[in-house]
Amino acid sequence: MSNAILMALVPVFFVLLLGYAAGRLHIVDNLHVDALNALVMDFAVPASLFAATASAPRKEMIEQIPLFIVLAVTMALLYVAWYLAARGLAKVSRPDASIQALTIGFPNLAGVGLPILTSIVGPAGVVPVAVALATGSILISPVTLIIAEMDTAKARGENMALRQILTAIGRAITKPVVLAPRARHHVLAIECQP
């Protein structure tokens, strides 16, 4: 098992090293990072998640509900604990504490979790990663956006309206990474109609 994990990690860290070298050698500059992130998070990862969840049986998707609950509780506890520690102990601002808590509570599952689980478990490993990405995107990301937007509104001397909170939640749950696993159910519903 440790050999399988090592074989899964080596390509990930090799690609990270290539990215670092590309930046240091000015092959890729910081001006293009946003475009690369958009390509990965808006197209490549959602396409991969859609393909994996579309090929997974409905029963397998339903079996992921306990995983969703465990991940939701774990992510929320880590998020709250880090946020409170950053605010109380380090006296960090609310937006900075929320971004730190997001980093701790919602790790880089798309960039690291997806390739590792796929290498170790095979295609079946993509379904749990899709569940984890959806969990964090639905629960943790909106909280961070709301905290950041509330702080910005407070700095302007305004109160954050319910509309702004709903907009932050809407942005988070309509990201392609969240929609890709859910789109599978719409495809199945269309295929089952006469």
Q: For 94-152, how does the pLDDT look when each residue is reduced to its tens digit (9 = 90+)?
A: 889 999 999 899 877 766 676 677 777 776 677 787 788 778 877 888 888 788 877 77
Distance CA 117, CA 127 (A): 10
Q: Which residue in this structure is represented by tokens 């960039």?
A: 111
Domain contains 11: no
Per the structure, the complete domain to which residue 139 belongs is given by 32-192
Domain contains 79: yes
Domain contains 93: yes
Contact by Cβ (8 Å): 113, 129? yes
Domain contains 59: yes
Q: Of 101, 165, 166, nearest to 136 (Cα)? A: 101
Number of domains within the chain:
1
| pTM score | 0.67
Domain contains 17: no
Q: What is the Rg, in whole angstroms, of the alpha carbon atoms belonging to the chain?
A: 19
User: pLDDT tier at 79 (50, 70, 90 boundaries)?
Assistant: very high
Q: For 1-40, how does the pLDDT look when each residue is reduced to its tens digit (9 = 90+)?
A: 567 666 666 776 787 788 888 888 888 777 767 777 777 7
Which of 15-29, 78-92, 112-126, 153-167 ranks highest by mean pLDDT?
Answer: 78-92
Distance CA 147, CA 87 (A): 13
DSSP three-state, residue 194: coil
Domain contains 21: no
- Stretch 69-78: mean pLDDT: 94
Domain contains 155: yes
Domain contains 1: no
Distance CA 149, CA 128 (A): 31
